[in-house]
Structure 1
């Protein structure tokens, strides 16, 4: 029974991207570990763990919500990315 955790910065993935990521990671685990068995799907746990931007650093730089929104686009309260 695999448990997969994806760690990311809050604000990068919108609701549709999360749904796609969860589905596709599950598909890969069924294909690889479950050897294609459809029954294996019910044993695959996938979790997206989002953390505040201040908890991350890349090259010594901490991203801000503003940097993330300007790079990826803002996400509305409904979880949908707002058009730029």
Structure 2
């Protein structure tokens, strides 16, 4: 049996503020936690790592990659300082 909308084990979408709107995303908590363990200090490397992991689970339009990277860094800083 597949994991559908009613399966309690199915991934739950979360919201991420990108530019001026919210988008539904999968795996945000896991991505943030995984990247936090890397202890990246350089913001460019942090943005690259977050975006890379995010794109593995969510579609990101190529034209919006910079906006998504900025949104992910902002969310990361809210959580981890």
Shared fold per TM-score greater than 0.5: no
Per the normalisation by structure 1, the TM-score is 0.30
Per the normalisation by structure 2, the TM-score is 0.31
**Structure that is richer in helix per residue:** 2
**Structure that is richer in strand per residue:** 1
